[in-house]
Amino acid sequence: MTENSKGPSRRVALKTLAGGAAAAATMPLWARYTHAQSAEPIRIGFQVHRTGIGAAYGRWYDRTTQAAVRLINEAGGINGRPIEIVAEDDGTDPKRGAEVVEKFATQHNCDIGFGTLFSHVVTGSAPRAGELKLPYFVVSEGHHVASGILNRYTLQPGITDVKSQVQAMAPFVTENLGRKVTLIFPDYAYGHDHRDFFSAAVEAQGGEVVAKLAIPPTETSFTKYFPKIPRDTEVIYHVMVGPAVLTFVKEMGEFFGGQGPQLFGFIDSLEAVAIDSPGLEFLEGTHFWEGMPRHAQPDQTEYDRFYREQVGVDDRGASISDPTDVSTYGHMFGCWETLYVVKNGMEAAGYRGPQDRAALIEAVEAMTTMPHSNEHPQGPKVFNGKTHQVFGQQYISCVENGNLVKVHTTSIEDTFYPDEVDYTTQPL
């Protein structure tokens, strides 16, 4: 039997869908959904950290999500149906997170759950999503998905995980900054990923982790931790989160007085904080990992420019309407990219409603390469359907004259590691 006799191939179907979306964009809004199988919207349950230690991220995850949904709806939605966002605050709390997931499935009649960032909330929520068979698309960076501890209904297709990030970063650190490293990290799952995987990556490069300092995520003062840093430390690797990050970096600068070891930070330590804030002058010449460069670079792509315009972010990563409102630029792109993965997955699966949730999971599992584009403005990616984890380029920036200047880009291959699970073998 020929391919044509079986109907259009998946590749042809996707091309047809792409062409239809382009045509739909030229229609008036009232006409874009008239040929859909259902007039009902696709309901996406947005689990957002409006309160708690993740509130700054939640605000910008919301802003990015709304921008992507607007564009998708203007282009005809998903399978001719508009997206409707149903937002629930989880308080950045694992218990509330599970309750929110249940509300999406049983009260709001959502098609999927989406958007969770903080890893302890993901690990507290994902089991309930699996029990309810609610596809749960997280935007978290934690290694929990790819580690295999969750379930087939939980996927992370729009942002890379800590294990891949630190594995790609470690050679730069040991070759350029030093081999004796002290780690400072938040004392919960995300921080533990940094502790475990960066330690292993440093040691694989012939370096040594001389101390590991765990900080409670609700800590508000940090000076008492700095005397615990061994004298022979050559590099301080820091990754902090939450509303006290500015206090953390300022107190670190005051303690060392601009002398001390080299600093290599994950941009988490300064997300939603202006790099030129008073008291941060000591960061000049230090390095940061960035998921997506906050400051527009000399080689800025058309995709980054388009994304900034649509989300309303200026060349320094702040709100166009308020330059003091600094975004979480190194993470929030994951919401944008994940929504486009959901769109493409639903279209490939011919998604009509909850009865097609399993088909949606299988369609996303079948994805592989994701080209650099307006849909994926952070960079090209490769999705591993077995582990439900996406892999992509990483960026290292140096603070130069108050600017974050990109000095190194890893390859996607630098981030690969052996599979630890095959979710496709689990029942749906």
Continuous H helices in 257-355: 302-311, 329-349
**335 in any annotated domain:** yes
Calpha distance 228→226 (Å, rounded): 5
Give the Å distances, CA to CA, from 177 to 93, 171, 264.
36, 10, 8
314-357 pLDDT, tens digit each: 999 999 999 999 999 999 999 999 999 999 999 999 999 999 99
- Mean pLDDT over each residue of the chain, to the nearest integer: 92
369-422 pLDDT, tens digit each: 999 999 999 999 999 999 999 999 999 999 999 999 999 999 999 999 999 999
The residues, ordered by sequence, that sit 6+ positions from 412 with a Cβ below 8 Å of its Cβ are 380, 381, 382, 391, 392, 393
Domain region containing 39: 4-160+331-392
pLDDT category of residue 242 using cuts at 50, 70 and 90? confident
Calpha distance 272→326 (Å, rounded): 5
Same domain? For 361 and 281 the reply is: no
The per-residue DSSP string of 215-231 comes to E-TT----GGGGGGS-T
Same domain? For 51 and 106 the reply is: yes
Q: Global pTM? A: 0.90
Q: Tally the domains of the chain.
A: 2
Same domain? For 272 and 385 the reply is: no
- Higher pLDDT: 259 or 10? It is 259
CB atoms within 10 A of CB 323: 11
121-161 pLDDT, tens digit each: 999 999 999 999 999 999 999 999 999 999 999 999 999 99
Same domain? For 8 and 64 the reply is: yes
255-265 pLDDT, tens digit each: 998 788 999 99
Residue 19 has pLDDT above 70, yes or no: no
pLDDT of 38: 65
Give the Å distances, CA to CA, from 143 to 165, 199, 302.
10, 15, 31
Same domain? For 147 and 180 the reply is: no
79-130 pLDDT, tens digit each: 999 999 999 999 999 999 999 999 999 999 999 999 999 999 999 999 999 9
Percent of the chain surpassing pLDDT 70:
91
pLDDT category of residue 218 using cuts at 50, 70 and 90? confident
pLDDT of 30: 43
pLDDT of 217: 83
For 164, which DSSP code? H
- CATH number of the domain encompassing residue 254: 3.40.50.2300
**140 in any annotated domain:** yes
Same domain? For 86 and 97 the reply is: yes
**326 in any annotated domain:** no
**226 in any annotated domain:** yes
pLDDT of 7: 37
Give the Å distances, CA to CA, from 146 to 157, 260, 268, 290.
11, 36, 21, 21
Match 């309810």 to its residue by tokens. 132
Same domain? For 89 and 234 the reply is: no
Task: Please report, in angstroms and rounded to a whole number, the separation of the first and last CA atoms in the chain.
Answer: 30
pLDDT of 271: 94
